[in-house]
Amino acid sequence: MGCLAARRRAMSAVNLEKRRSFDQIAWNAMRYSGVLLIFLAFGHVLLQDVIVGVHRIDLDYVAMRWANWGWRMYDLFLLAFAFAHGMNGVRQVLSDFVHQERHMRAVNVALLVVWLVVTLMGAAAIFGGVRPVQ
């Protein structure tokens, strides 16, 4: 019985180390995406709201802007990083309330799936949802 308890403690230590490693990666991702988002979001607000003006943005403007692949990539990065940053924040909040590792793993997987689905839907809209410029 003592050997089984020692093995469980060792497995628990390994799982804790894996969780710390994942949390460290997530912590770093929050910092890097946050810095990147400062520039991406500020550039977006400056262009759309200050330079162009919200009253001039319509489907023709979006089609003209997205005729350039660089703008499409910019919008995709903005979507992916902003949503990943937000989902990681939700994960952090939920980790305060979900204490069992099995349930937290399920929460992590569910949040990853939601992030992937929404980001892929956004990518499909960005790369395939604009009518051609005339």
The three-class DSSP label of residue 75 is: helix
Q: pLDDT digits over 14-54, tens only?
A: 555 666 687 888 888 888 888 999 999 999 999 988 999 88
| Contact in structure between 78 and 119 (CB atoms under 8 Å) | no
Q: What confidence category does residue 73 fall into, taking pLDDT thresholds of 50, 70 and 90?
A: very high
**Which pLDDT score, from 0 to 100, does residue 74 have?**
94
Q: Is the pLDDT of residue 66 over 90?
A: no
Calculate the alpha carbon distances from 86 to 12, 26, 102, 133 in Å. Answer: 29, 12, 22, 33
Rounded to whole angstroms, the Cα distance separating 23 from 30 reads 10
**Which pLDDT score, from 0 to 100, does residue 64 have?**
87
| Contact in structure between 114 and 87 (CB atoms under 8 Å) | yes
**Which pLDDT score, from 0 to 100, does residue 62 have?**
87
Rounded to whole angstroms, the Cα distance separating 119 from 98 reads 25
Rounded to whole angstroms, the Cα distance separating 134 from 128 reads 16
Residue-range domain boundaries for the chain? 2-128
Domain covering 2-128, topology: 3 helical TM bundles of succinate and fumarate reductases (1.20.1300)
Tokens representing residue 72 in the block: 């499409």
